[in-house]
Amino acid sequence: MAEAAIEYYSSVSSSSSSFTTEKPQKRRRISRRAAEQQAREQQELEARQKHEAESRALALEYVQDFLQDSEEWADRMDFISIIYDAVPTMEELFSYGALDSSEGTRACRRLFKAVVIWDELGLSLWQKLAASEEAAAANSASVAITTVTSTISSVQEQQASDFETASTVVPCVPSRRASEDSGCSRLSFWSSLSRSSTASEKQRGAKRNCLSRMLARTWDKLSDKSMTAHASKGVMIASY
């Protein structure tokens, strides 16, 4: 009886000691994970802040170069001040070029403090950004057209290869033992070859139609972009 009681109390004591040991370890693991997560978030925040600061510095340099390199504004630098707190990141600054004339002018003129020439200055900066945006769009369209042209060339080469392979196929000559089945064999061979050629022709036709639609959509997008740019410039000239 006494031995059983001793064993019971010893087992209870060991389980309670293991429980008290595991609980602080679990708390330490949770604390360590929370600290690691906080450190990662802090690093990401610092990286974003650093990137934003560098991007704003590039945007400020871009605006300063715009004023100094412009024959229209270089002589009037004494009347123009850049509002440094209003300078956006480089990505946001270039996004102004995708706006229309009125919205782009309002967005650009917020960067300056200038008497009388405020609207004119904002419009001039927007024109430069819009020209950059149009050039980037034209380059993207050129890359798309090159890709479609390359794809068409690849399909044409594949068609030529398929035709050459089909032309060089030679039917097997039946043995004398199977002479009675030779006619059926040749008929079956040419029938399967005809079906294969018809299926290949259908696939090539589908590919040509798909590529034609891709090329047409690319040209339509390029034409719409060009027409929109010219229309906005026409509105801009009429307004100012």
Give the residue ranges of DSSP H helices in the chain: 2-69, 90-95, 101-109, 118-167, 182-239
Cα distance between residue 67 and residue 121, in whole Å: 9
Compute φ and ψ for 184, nearest 5 degrees: -65, -40
CB atoms within 10 A of CB 73: 20
pLDDT band at 231 (very low <50, low <70, confident <90, very high): very low
Judged against a pLDDT cut of 50, whether residue 193 lies above it is answered with: no
**All structural domains of the chain with their residue ranges:** 25-133, 137-171+190-239
Return the closest-CA partner of residue 145 out of 68, 221, 47, 76: 221
| Residue-wise pLDDT tens digits, 86-143 | 999 999 999 999 999 999 999 999 999 887 787 888 899 999 999 988 888 777 766 6
pTM: 0.50
Assess contact for 151 and 215: CB atoms under 8 A: no
Cα distance between residue 125 and residue 240, in whole Å: 14
Cα distance between residue 83 and residue 125, in whole Å: 14
Cα distance between residue 133 and residue 139, in whole Å: 10
pLDDT at 187: 47
pLDDT at 237: 37
